[in-house]
Each structure stands twice: as structure tokens, then as C-alpha cells.
Amino acid sequence: MPYFSSQMSVEPGSASVLQKTSADVTEGRAAVPASFLPAAGSPPVEWLIDDVPVRYPDAVAGMETQVAAITAGEAAERVWLVEHPPLYTAGTSAKPRDLLVADRFPVFDSGRGGQYTYHGPGQRVAYVMLDLNRRRHDLRAFVATLEEWIIRTLAAFNVRGERREGRIGIWVPRPDMGGGREDKIAAIGIRVRRWVTFHGIAINVDPVLEHFSGIVPCGVSEGGVTSLADLGRVVSMAEVDAVLRREFVPLFGETVGAAAEEFPG
């Protein structure tokens, strides 16, 4: 499967982007205008929150169903907020050596771009299913806008998240730890099919950070992993969800609530 950048997978049907290199997407994102609003008159993005942990295969099946319906013009775009039971996922460029403890948690091939990552309770995963045909065919701008969404959400809790050139995701400087250390607080991994996106972002709210020790997260061994709770911000998942929705609107457009039973799959 063709892919580019460390956190992105692009399937046939989005062929014009396959000529891009990793640098086209991962470099210079800070200078990209952070806005990915749809064309005027587009329907709102459906907003769904699952209140119980979602099995990873069920999440993938649900995304596949929704993406197929969006592509066919039969469904609205959707953001789906979930937590998962403890597990590791392997992206299309995952290296076996980066799975440090193979028998600790279930490991799933994800089909998204990127390498190994951890999902579990206390981490908010947002699966972002948007039709870029209604917006624009610019994956670097899409990734930059996802990053801006995370940065604005963290800022609401007085956490300064930052981009890093050549790496996708959001990092927090840790001067308290010394040595110029920085820790990753949020990851991004997406897949694109016929210009419809799926998979998405993960923000560490209050997961068990030791669970990340079974992998080299996203293939990056420098720095550590942190969370809002680790940084002293004790907030509920509901508070994070409310800010995510508020900050989504000026970047990606209006939302409308969707009942859990409406989600296919």
C-alpha cells in the first residue's frame, strides 16, 4: 500500500498526492494556515461520543462502514470519540523491533500510517472521517489543522503543545525534567481513501503512562510520553470532549450530535 510520512497512509483513489514526499507533509506545517472549513452549504459534521470502551476491530469496522457511505454520498462526515481497552496498534511502517513486549497487550495491524502506538483507558481517541472533496486536496494543511485543533484544546487547560518539524504529533517541553527534554502528549495517524479521511488523533488525558513502555511510540525514542494528569491538569474526559468540540468548529466547521445507536457497524 502506498503511504508517505511517518503517520499517514494513502490508498489508490487519492493518486495525485502520491507524488508528495514525507517532507511535503511533515515540514513547514507551522506556516500553513490552520483552517479546513468545508464548502459553503455543506451539512454539519456528526459528533458521536461512545461512553463505553470500544474494541479496536469494532472501531475499524465502524470507520470502514462510515467511510464507504461518505464516499458514496450516503452519509455525513463524522467525528467519533472513543476510549479503547489497553492495546497496541501497528501502522504501515511499524518496525518489529519497536514492539518491545510482544505479549503484553493485543497488537492490531491498523492500516493507518505510522508505526506503533498505544491506546487505552484515559486516552481520548478521535476518529476523524472527513470528505476532503468538500474541503480541499491538501494533506499537509489537513495535518496542520489537526495539530492546531490539539494545540488549542491543550491550551484551554494551560498546556503549551508544540509541533516539531519532521515529526507528526504534539510535544510538550519539560524544563522541569532537565536536559532539554520534551514529551509527546498527542499522536496523529490517518488514512485517506478517495480523499475521505479516517483514523485520527489521540490525546493523553490520564492513561497509565507505563503502558507505553512496551513499544517505541511512533518510532521515536527521544523524549518521553506525558498526559494532562502527568502535567498536573486533573480534568475529566467530558471536559476534554467539550473543548475538543468547541475548538473543532472554527477549524473544520459546525457539528451536530449523533446518537450512538446511529453508528453503523
Beta strands in the chain (DSSP E): 8-10, 45-49, 78-82, 87-90, 107-109, 116-119, 123-129, 162-164, 167-173, 182-193, 196-204, 224-225, 255-257
Reply yes or no on whether 218 is catalytic: yes
Tell me which residue has cell 493518486.
15
Tell me which residue has cell 490552520.
34
**Which residues touch 178 (CB under 8 Å, ≥6 apart)?**
none
Say which of 218, 225, 231, 240 is annotated catalytic: 218
**Grid coordinates in use for 159?**
498546556
Closest Cα to residue 180, out of 228, 223, 226, 232? Answer: 223
- Give the three-state DSSP class for 215: strand
Task: State CA 206 to chain mean position distance.
Answer: 17
Catalytic residue positions, numbered: 218
